[in-house]
Amino acid sequence: MVQADLTLPFIVFPLLSAVACHFVFGHLHQSSLDVASTNACASGLAEPSPYRLRYVHLDAIDNTLCSFVTFFQTALNHQDSFAFVTYFIGIGAPLVVVPAVEGWRAGRSRIIAYPVIFGVISQIMTVGLTMPLYWLIFILAGGTRSRYLNPRNANISQAAAEAVAFGIIVGAVIPSVGMLVLNDPYVTAIWLPFPIYISLAQYMHLLFRPESRYPQSGYQTICGLYIATFILCSSVHIATIWPIIGGDLRMLRVFIPSVTIPPTAMEHEVHHLLKWDFAVALTSSILITLWFAKSKGQLVLLAAWSAFATPVFGPGAAMMGTFLWRETSLQNYVDVNSREHITDTVTAQ
């Protein structure tokens, strides 16, 4: 925020991870969903799970994939949880886009230079547990101290910006749409390691359009990506939530988590855990935007924007709007400092 004090982020973000741990993993164990998933994928059953398939033809990996596929296929095969998963993927795009962009900023810390690591961890340990820790590391790595970045450090090259956009489309959008549309266990298994696809697609793109040939600023491309993400998130939110607000408000239970475990079937338990995963991940991602404030006035404005935009455009769009503002602020900072540098050089000569 305004001060560089690390006390507050060390309280807020680990606390949010603890909340995710309690409501996701705690309720996973209390509901015995973990045992049910493991037992369904055990070998030697008279009636094995329909998702115990030969995905890679290695028993250890196939058993692990079976548990994950069982979880997500259960969500896809139930009306309410399918609606929620579709909503989550639509408005959760910034959770993929922003780390991918920050991983290519010239002045980034090494610890956030490989978002694929956080992406893989989030697929294994849930995004609700991982994102608060990512944002804490982001703060510690100096990601919120934009005023201390010099023009060179704030830059993202055109080649990197294009690679990010290409990687997200090929590695995240296509597999996610395929999973939702096809609703096939093999496709779901293919979708699971999508953070790796994003990373591979980025580096493949850079082979054809390397930074050495396209070193100029990719600011316009990043802004275009952020605007497109904002439109996607807000469109999904408006199409999904606004009709409920204008109709039966009881349907909001599909999207709002409860503190108690639903004493019903497996699909309701899966839906319950996904809602908490979503809630914590997006809450932490909204809160991180407050750390971009350089004054008390900016802090009030950022908080007011989030309070207004979250219910109107959705939490993903609210987050994306702030990151678009930040990118513009960084570019203005780069432009001002570049002009000052040129002026100082001319004066010195």
How do residues 74-120 score in pLDDT, each as one tens digit?
A: 999 999 999 999 999 999 999 999 999 999 998 888 999 999 999 99
pLDDT of residue 46: 61
First to last CA, the chain: 39
Write the CA distances from 45 to 49, 65, 70, 119, 225, integer angstroms.
Answer: 8, 17, 16, 33, 48
Q: pLDDT band for position 264 (50/70/90)?
A: confident
**φ, ψ at 249 (rounded to 5°):** -65, -20
Q: Are 91 and 314 in contact (CB under 8 A)?
A: yes
pLDDT cut 90: percent of the chain above it: 75
Note the pLDDT of residue 349.
45
Higher pLDDT, 175 or 344: 175
Domain ranges of the chain: 7-341
Residue 222 has pLDDT above 80, yes or no: yes
SS3 256: coil
Over 163-219, what HEC string results? HHHHHHHHHHHHHHHHHHHHCCHHHHHHHCCHHHHHHHHHHHHHHHCCCCCCCCECH
Mean pLDDT of the region 212-240: 96
Rounded mean pLDDT of 17-34?
93
DSSP-derived secondary structure letter, 54:
-
pLDDT confidence bin for 150, thresholds 50/70/90: low
Instruction: Tell me what pLDDT residue 151 has.
Output: 62
pLDDT-derived band of residue 3, with 50, 70 and 90 as boundaries? very low
Supply the pLDDT for residue 330: 86
Q: Report the share of the chain in percent with pLDDT over 70.
A: 91
Asked if the model's pLDDT at residue 165 lies above 70, the reply is: yes
Q: Say which DSSP state 141 is in.
A: T
Tokens of 142: 């100096």
> Minimum mean pLDDT among 26-30, 245-249, 272-276: which range?
245-249
User: For residue 21, what is the DSSP state?
Assistant: I
Mean pLDDT of 318-334: 88
CA 233/CA 95 separation, integer angstroms: 11
Place 241 in a pLDDT band, splitting at 50, 70 and 90: very high
pLDDT higher than threshold 60 for residue 2: no
CA 71, 76, 81, 86 dihedral sign is positive
- Work out the average pLDDT over 132-153: 80
Query: What integer is the mean pLDDT of 171-176?
Result: 97
What's the pTM value of the predicted model, to 2 decimals?
0.91
DSSP states of 110-123 as a string?
GGGS-HHHHHHHHH
Q: Give the HSE-up count for residue 285: Cα atoms under 13 Å, Cβ half-sphere.
A: 31
